[in-house]
Amino acid sequence: MKKIFIIEDEILIQQSLKKLFERRGFLVDVSASGKLAIDMILANDYDRIVCDLMLQDISGFDVIEESKKKFSAQDISKKFVIMTAYNSPQVLSRANAYQCRLLNKPFEDLEEAMRVMTESV
Amino acid sequence: MENRSDPSSETAPVGLSLHLDHEVLSELGSDFFPESKFHLVPLQDASYALLKKGDRLWVNYPDGEYCDFPFYRKNIALVLNGLLKLPKISRQTDEPFDSLIRSTQSIEKRVFSAATPGRHTKDLWDEIIRKINTLSQESHSLRDLTEKLLDVPFLQNFETSLIVLHLKGQTKAEILGSLWRSEKFQSFAEVKEFNSFFNSVKKSKIKSFTTEVFPKLNLPFNGSFLAKEVVSRKYTLVALASRHDFLSFGREEIELFETCIDLLQPHFERLIDQEFSDKRISELRICLKDFPLPLRIRNHVTGTSFQNDLMKGELQEQDIFFTKKVMGPFTLDLYDSDELRHYAFDLFHFQRISLLGELLNTLRHELSNPLFGLMLGSQMFRTLDVATDNKDLMKEIEKNVARCQVIIENFSNLYQIQNEPRPVHLKKIIDESLVLAKSEGREMRKKVIYEGDTESLELSVPLIFVVQILFNLIVNAAQALREAMVTGGELTIRIAREEKNIAIHVCDNGPGIPSEKAVQLFKPFFTTKASGTGLGLVLSRNLALKMGGNLEYMSDTELKGAHFCITLPVT
């Protein structure tokens, strides 16, 4: 079974996504803390990592940077999906540098968002 | 080419009486001094004397002054030539030795006109201290003091004195003083350059420098100079003096200069303090003079007052609408005027709008995530196999969340200050205003009547301005109705087309405004409410005028309630 890891500190969003993924047949891990998420990424093999940018402790970019210990730049571009509510030019250019998928919150279309988050897993 | 000049036209032998130190004579030989031109005589009979002291050549003049040079054959020849150009014994004792100096320009010279070793050192010091005391008393500015520095006895042969001053916290260092004893000079240097200059001066033991070492400081002369640093709590400065040549300085000169600047330090301090408090006061005066509102500042102690340019003629006490005790004995009065209305209310309005904009933006960001969570949670539940009626409920939750998102989005867009107004539907303006005033106006019925095609009209005005005016009028109406305890309160907004304008009539069925109060409605700080600021209507009219429209109270109406009319231009 494919494993998805959700890093999101808004529990309602985190749990809803977890349920939605589970219903599509994925194994799901979650974390509300960025620091904890780094440990979990290093310790587990996830097929997809959905990561919010604004976490309480550190930013989603920090999580991606730390996971460079384990992943190549190409791995990062394939594994990570960034979620953000603040699509400022700075955030966008930084996210583009990682070349990974980007989703704006709130999702305009849930089905489309689910498709982006699960594609080529 | 052979010299064929007529011997009779040659200058007659001058025959200056010259005393030669036996050391000079033994080193150069007597044939070095042509007897036709010089009479070698004993010291007491000589007009001039050439003495050797160590490796220096001393020239004593009839008046007791002296020059000294390094002891070289060439130098001695030049000195002798210089002496021959002087008229025999006709030198006045007070005549400076410029001609000699000029004729021996290439010679390293050291001229002490006053600080001669022949004088008593104590006398010299007394003189220097006396001079410093008088010149510091006579100086009324830093520049003054810097210029007068050259009057100090041992500096009388110097041409230029400057100070390089850096006040702490300033982004530039200032160079000021006088060049060639007459030309006033002022320029600025980068702080970085000043710091490196200052540190070099501070570290130096001999306090002697040449300008080429500090090219970026752009000192306005070339050559060697003496420099001494002064450090204080508020500033650092370097005082410097130069003769505009490349000669080195004697030990005595260096010591005298250092001591001199040390003695001047308290005077630098005093003048800098005074100058910069003067500068602050004059800057403040300029600010107040150009302040865009008519104002007066009174001093209770002296009874004097200052008023700025906008205070035209005699203003009456009753025109003061704002008085505040400021510092010390001062009171600030602001006068009621068109300028005041214009500027103060603009500022007031702008502050309010931008504060609201910021608040709403924060609110939008803060609410966005929880609302999204609600939406997602509900969508997730809806896709589970739940009963149809529950699915409808979930849909209802989602609809409400979406509405919240739209409302908060609209509000924060509304309060963004836009420079270029975009065309906006009149209906949207009215609707926004009603939503905004919903809680204030919930007890009254609202009726909107669009006459003719006005509902589809678009206006190129800042949305927020119109909403603000309408909001004020709606809230005023609601409060008036509540206060008068009118049951069945009703607000009517009627939009009608006038020739080039659109008129928005806002009427209520409350008690209306008595005519004696109606005339004061648009006066600042006039209010009938207990907690009112008296600015709402003034501000609203101001906004309407800004858009090329107006806001008026319609007193000639047959309706019994209050009736306001906003007119706005249609483009």
What is the reported pLDDT for B119?
Answer: 47
Q: Total structural domains in chain A? A: 1
Instruction: Report the domain count for chain B.
Output: 5
Distance, CA of B125 to CA of B128 (rounded, Å): 5
Residue B378 to chain A, least CA–CA distance (Å):
8
Let me know if residue B83 belongs to a domain. yes
**What are the residues whose beta carbons fall under 8 Å from the beta carbon of B40, sequence distance 6 or more?**
B18, B19, B20, B30, B33
Amino acid identity, position B194? F
Handedness of CA B70, B75, B81, B85 (dihedral sign): negative
Closest CB to A10 among B365, B370, B379: B370
CB contact under 8 A, A107 and B376: yes
- Residue B444 CA to residue B475 CA, distance in Å, equals 11
Q: Tell me, yes or no, whether B208 and B306 share the same domain.
A: no
Assess if residue B116 is contained within a domain.
no
Instruction: List Cα–Cα distances, B362 to B286, B367, B416, B531, in angstroms.
Output: 39, 8, 13, 28
How many Å apart are CA B59 and CA B48, to the nearest integer? 7
- CA neighbor of A82 nearest in space, from A96, A69, A72, A71: A96
Phi/psi for B172 (5° steps) reads: -130, 155
Residues B349 and B459 in one domain: no
- Are B207 and B302 members of one domain? no
Could you report how far apart the first and last alpha carbons of chain A are, in Å?
11
Distance CA B469, CA B491 (A): 15
Which positions 354-393 of B are in contact with A (Cβ < 8 Å)?
A: 365, 368-377, 379-380, 383-384
B242 and B329 share one domain: no
For the whole prediction, is pTM greater than 0.95? no
* Boundaries of domain holding A33: 3-118
Residues of B within 8 A of A103 (CB-CB) are none
Q: What would the pLDDT profile of A39-98 be if each residue is shown by its tens digit?
A: 999 999 999 999 999 888 899 999 999 999 999 999 999 999 999 887 778 888 888 889
- Low-confidence stretches of chain B (pLDDT < 70) are 1-15, 62-70, 74, 85-123, 312-315, 339-347, 349, 385-386, 413-420, 524-525, 530-534, 556-559
Is B5 within a domain? Answer: no
ipTM for the assembly: 0.86
Angle B66-B72-B73 (CA atoms, 0-180°, nearest 5)?
110
Does residue B42 sit within a domain? yes
Domain identity same for B127 and B274: yes
Find the residue in A nearest to B372 (Cα): A106
Helix (H, G, I), strand (E, B) or coil at A108: coil
Q: Which residues of A touch B368 (CB under 8 A)?
A: 85, 105-106
- Tell which A residues from 68 to 87 touch B, by Cβ distance under 8 Å: 85-86
Tell me whether residue A46 is exposed, middle or buried, using C-beta atoms within 10 angstroms of its C-beta: 0 to 12, 13 to 18, 19 or more.
Answer: buried
Strand arrangement, sheet containing B501-508: B445-450, B490-497, B501-508, B563-569, B550-553
User: Which residues in chain A touch residue B372, judged by CB atoms under 8 angstroms apart?
Assistant: 10, 13, 85, 105-107
**Do residues B344 and B331 share a domain?**
no
Question: Which CATH number belongs to the domain containing residue A109 in this structure?
Answer: 3.40.50.2300
Dihedral over Cα of B385, B386, B387, B391: its sign: negative
The C-alpha atoms of residue A56 and residue A43 are separated, in whole angstroms, by 22
- Residues B270 and B356: their CA atoms lie apart, in Å, by 49
| Domain at B262, CATH number | 3.30.450.40
Residue B217, classed as helix, strand or coil, is helix
* Full domain range(s) for residue B501: 424-569
Print the SS3 string covering B451-463.
Answer: CCCHHHCEECCCH
Please give the pLDDT value at position A80: 95
Q: Are B143 and B96 contained in the same domain? A: no
B487 and B505 assigned to the same domain: yes
In a domain, B115, yes or no: no
